[in-house]
Structure 1
Amino acid sequence: MSNHHFAHPNQSATPSRKRLLDRHKQYLQFAELKSLAGDRIGAENDYQHAEHFFRSAAEQKDADRL
């Protein structure tokens, strides 16, 4: 099985900054729900995903400036 990622024809190869920030917010919400349910490990995993999307959005912002 290949690890290649193919973008949808109507979607650019790199996600938009807005899309990345939306995913960041989504994972923060997931983490909060898991935390409230007492799932510390699951919450930490979601916080790490949220951080990834936040950093990706920052990188995209820098790339858009070029």
Structure 2
Amino acid sequence: MAGDAATGDAILHISIALLPGRSEEVEGQLSSSVLELLTAHLKPAAQVTVHVSAETRDLDPPYRKR
């Protein structure tokens, strides 16, 4: 988690990369679900504001797996 200790801000970003083929709606729902899960498990910390974000995207065509 990155942040700025001087201002009391912390940033938590989740990046999800999937094989192509899902609609933007499905990818958006996944991002929203991840944010809900994330915020449900974060505990408040004194004098720290946590900013959370999530991105779901398609892997680039050159991606390979075995």
TM-score interval, normalised by the smaller of the two chains = 0.3 to 0.5
Q: Output the TM-score relative to the length of structure 2.
A: 0.36
Greater CA radius of gyration, 1 or 2? Answer: 2
Higher strand share: 2
Which structure has more relative contact order (CA 8 Å, sep 6+)? It is: 2
Higher helix share: 1
Q: Output the TM-score relative to the length of structure 1.
A: 0.36
